[in-house]
Amino acid sequence: MAKIGVKELRTTASEVIERVEGGATYVVIRRGLPVAVLLPIAEAEDLVLTNTDQFVRIRREARTTYRKGKTINLRDLD
């Protein structure tokens, strides 16, 4: 992920947004510290959805089931 300072972002915002639309991602830096992330909306939606309570619960349950050995092979789903 590329880094971009706040000052540079202000002066090149339109160009940066076009790059983000094309798939680029940026960490916005202020005073040497990361303060924000710019990423395409599809990636942002995926990020938000993967952290919803329901998805997190399902993921935890699946990991517990896997650790207990209660899984099946995908080929056996037919």
* Portion of the chain with pLDDT greater than 90, in percent: 50
pLDDT tens profile 19-51: 999 999 999 999 999 999 999 998 888 888 887
* Portion of the chain with pLDDT greater than 70, in percent: 99
Report the phi/psi class of residue 35: left, alpha or beta, with left for phi > 0 and alpha for psi in -120 to 50.
alpha
Class of domain 1-39: alpha beta
Residue 78, pLDDT > 70, answer no
- C-alpha 28/C-alpha 10 separation (Å) is 11
Domain coordinates in residue numbering, the chain: 1-39, 40-72
Q: Binning pLDDT at 50, 70 and 90, where does residue 14 land?
A: very high
The reported pLDDT for the residue numbered 67 is 86
